[in-house]
Structures are given as C-alpha cells and as structure tokens.
A and B are shown apart, each in its own frame.
Chain A
Amino acid sequence: MPDNKEYTKKVIQHFKNPHNFGRIKNADGIGKVGNIFCGDVMWVYIKVGKNRKGKEIIKEIKFETFGCVAAVATSSVITDLAKGKTIEEALDINKKEIADSLGGLPPIKLHCSVLAADALSEAVYDYLFKKKKDIPEKLTARHERIQKELKLIEEKYQDYVEIRKRALGK
C-alpha cells in the first residue's frame, strides 16, 4: 500500500495497533475530555504507584477513545509517554512533545494532541481531588479551563446532551 501523505508512519502505526487501550477497573483517576458533538472523546485511566525514591508515579495507564485517526494515535502515544513518569513529569507532557513523538501531525489535527494532554491532566486532577491531596494552582486552572470549554459546547448543543448521556449509559 502506498504511504499515506496526510499522516506519518508513526501515526498510522499507533492507529493500527494502539497501545494500552481499554479500561482500568478501580482506577485511581479518570480524565474525560472532548465531546461527541465535535467528534473526539478521550478517556484516560491511571493507577498511581511509588518509585524507589518514594515519589508518586503513573504506574498504569489506559485509554478509551472515540475519534479520528489522530485522536486514537495521540491517545495511544500519551500512554507510552506517561507510563512510569512521576506525576510532575506527566503533567509536563505538552502538545508539542505528543505531536513530535508521532513524527508530526497535520496542522488541522494539532488539537488532538491538546486533547490527549488534557485527558491525562484531568486524570491526575481526579486522582488528587479524590485523595484530598494538594492540587497545584496550575492544575486547578487547567481543570477549570477544560470544564468551562465543555460547558460551552454542551450549551451550544443542548439537544444532544441527552444523546450523550444515553451513549455514556448514565
């Protein structure tokens, strides 16, 4: 088959054989971002453990994604990037690092890398929040931004909120 000119080989590889997909039962944190109206939904599950120095790390990470080729590939690659990292390091994974580790993304698909980074940071937020731990100011701000964006979209597509709830089995 000829190469796809839109997506890099790396993107196609991750899309074809995504790493770490599925759910983690009893996850320590879950990050849910995106929305079905725009076409990309990413859920990231994490289990937190400790490294030899006693620092908290992402011990296990999995994803579930509904979305385009780039959305699946960025979800897959962020699980690779985050696995084994300390929580601080994981929160530092940015869209550029995600896109770079895929050999680049088409400009119109760069938002998928933002979504993947957001999903991970939401999972960390969820973990810290549930454990009643200190949440860094930056992470709170980020959480508020993500939630605000979601609310705006839900208002825009109010008709479909019901459908989403049904789709999510709520």
Chain B
Amino acid sequence: MAKRKRIYLDYAAATPLDSRVMKEVILHFKKSFGNTMSLHSFGQAAKEVLENSREKVASLMGAQRDEVIFTGSATEANNFALKGVAFANKSRGKHIIISAVEHPCIAESAHWLGLQGFEITELKVDKYGLVDPKDVEKALRKETILVSVMHANNEIGTIQPIAEIGAVCRKAAVFFHTDAAQSFGKIPIDVDKMNIDLLTASSHKMYGPKGAACLFKRKKVKIEPLLHGGGHESGYRSSTVNVPAIAGFAKACELCREEMASEAERLSHLRDKLISGILTEVKDTQLNGHAVKRLPNNVNISFFFVEGESLMMQLDLMGIAVSTGSACSSKKLEPSRVLQAIGLKPHQIHGSLRLSLGRQTTKEEIDYVLKVLPQAVENLRKISPFSR
C-alpha cells in the first residue's frame, strides 16, 4: 500500500516548531547556555538574549518589556495569575470571577482557591460561548479582586468581547486577566486598548517550542510568586531561565507579527470551506461556537449518532489527526465542560469533533478531509442502533 500523507488538524493542541524558530533555538542551545543570574560574560550574554526576547514578546501584545514574566507553560502562567493575585490581594477582598468556559488550568485553580477560602463566581455563557460584559458588571462586588475571562476558547474558538469586559473591570478598579493561549499570535492583541491587566500567552501554540510561556502583568498589579528561590524574573518566578526556548518563543512572535494578517485571512477561508463542506456533505451535523466571532483556525462540529472518540480514530486510521470533546476520550470520562456550558446535550457532545488548522494546512488537505470524512461518519453510523 502506498504510504499516505498524514494530515495534522490539531494545531489547537500543539503546533509543530517552525523551522526558522528551530534554527534560533538550536543556536541558543549552543551559544546561550550561561545562567542569566551569573555576572560573568557567559551569564550576561544569556541575559542579553533573554531581555531581547522579552522585548519581542512584549511588543506583540503592545506591552512594556518589564511587564512580561516568562514561565514554563501557559498552565503555570494561569495558575500564577489566579493564585498569585488572590494571595497578594486578599486583604482587599476574596472574590474572584471566571467564566464557565475557561481552560481547566483556570477552572481548577479557581476551584482550589475556593477550597482556600476564596469565593468564586462562574459566569454563564450564551449558546455561542460568549460572556456578556453586563453579566461581569452584575457579578462584581466590592470584595472582587480579579476577573479572568479567556480571549478565545480552546474548544470552540469563540472570541470574547475582551475590551468591553476589560472596561467594566477598569471602571470598578478590579484587575482583569485574560488567558490568550489560543489567540496570541493568531489575532491582534493590544493590552492597552483592550484594558487588560494580566495576560497569558504560550509559545507552543504559535510554532514555538514547548516549555516557554509568559504572563503579562501591569506594574500596578500586586502578585505573589508561585516559585520562590534565587529570584529570577525579578523575583516573580525563580528557576534557571530556559533561554533557548524563550529565544524561540520570541522568534515565533516575530514571525507571527509579520504573517498574522495574511495567515488569519488564509485560514479563515479554509475554515469556512471546511465548515460549510461538512455541514452540507454530512447530514445530522451542527456547528458549535460562533460563526464569525471565531478563531481563524477553529472548527468544532457535532455529528449526531456517532461517538467522537470512534470518529477521531476512524479519521486517524485514514491519516487525519483531530480531537474530540467526547467523554469517552477524556481521562475522567466526563464530557466537555465547554460544550455543556453552551447548552449542548450529552448526545451532541459525544459526537463533537474539533479540527484546528495551522500554518501547514493546505487547500488540498481540506479537500481530502471533505472527501473522506463522510465515509468515516458513515462507517460508524452503519453499526449504530440510532441511525436508520
């Protein structure tokens, strides 16, 4: 059998390293191995790479260089934002607001803070997954210290009205954090214009290496570190700094800065082609999330009468890699919280599939997916007792 090309449509889970980024990472693995805390020339050379990288990452979000704190992952940055702000500001109040569609690293951090005596409000979303800024306003109390609403959703790609939510928080003098792991580098972000006080970004979602991420934090925001020690990152995050990964993150930011507009347009076009192709070619399907307020690379569709893990595996056998919100594929056997929050019933969640596009996605790949996907669905429907 001829070896079939494999198609990767799970860029929301992880992206491949851009070869231009890889060059940069390898260069700094060789060159910049010194500890940034060392005063000798090796340490100082690494420190210079680190600070130049900080500048590049900051500039992609319209921030100042010294407002960016590097972390090892977006999960760490989100834990840091919630727990760090909670503990540093608890004398002012113990109330925190998040949305119902946050990534588990926000939701679980908030849950943990709840166990430590903080009070958590989880805002409902509409059927598209959108938070209403008015709901944020209504939920604010005088004890509220932090609001955290993600920029774009990892499962359904819905883009929140961040500037409006930020304005509500600004007016009430409450810190506003947004998890931009899925959106940073894909759509424009300006922390000033969008009234953001804290923002999480991740390198490996934008063709940079894993092991690098950051938390943007305005100087006025008081925060406690998660990691205490030698005082790296201005004392906010002790740990010997992973300079090569961070240099790669910075290079990835540079590339996204240059290519974002054209890439967003290209991907939106492919996304819409894939969505309308599936909805017309496969009956008993529905799009999850918003048609327009949507990441350029996200497709999430429910296939009724089919279980998502099985559909994912059917596609994997055809060489196509996607993901699902089905309970059966989760390690906890729980259906996607995001799809529950937008009001989907279990039978709609079981058959949900996320296809996320990226830099190497071509029109030919999308055509191939549209050609074989109906067969994959049919293979499962024909053995299912529900579709006849």
Interface residues in chain A, defined as those with a beta carbon under 8 Å from any beta carbon in chain B = 1, 4, 12, 15-16, 18, 21-22, 32, 36-41, 43, 63-72, 108, 157, 159-160, 163-164, 167-169
Contact = CB atoms under 8 A, between A and B. Distances in A.
A160 B386 CA distance: 15
B317 interface: yes
A36 B331 contact: no
A64 B385 contact: yes
12 contacts: A1-B319, A21-B383, A37-B346, A43-B385, A64-B383, A67-B310, A68-B328, A68-B329, A70-B328, A71-B328, A160-B346, A167-B347
A67 B307 contact: yes
Interface residue tally on B, bucketed by range: 20 to 34
B141 to A, nearest CB: 33
A41 B386 contact: yes
Q: Which of A1, A69, A70, A169 is packed against the most chain B CB atoms within 10 Å?
A: A69
Given A21-B383, A67-B307, A169 B347 contact: no
B386 A72 contact: no
A16 B317 contact: yes
Contacts of B386: 36, 41, 66, 167-168
A163 B319 contact: no
B388 A66 contact: no
Contacts of B385: 32, 41, 43, 64-66, 168
B384 interface: yes
- List 10 tightest A-B contacts by C-beta distance, closest first: A68-B328, A64-B385, A68-B309, A66-B384, A21-B383, A43-B385, A37-B346, A39-B350, A167-B386, A39-B328
Contacts of B328: 39-40, 67-68, 70-71
Contact of B307 (A12, A71, A167, A168): A71
B333 interface: yes
A18 B379 CA distance: 10
Given A18-B383, A39-B326, A65-B385, 17 more contacts: A21-B383, A36-B386, A38-B327, A38-B346, A41-B385, A43-B385, A66-B307, A66-B385, A68-B329, A70-B328, A108-B331, A157-B346, A163-B345, A163-B347, A164-B347, A167-B305, A167-B386
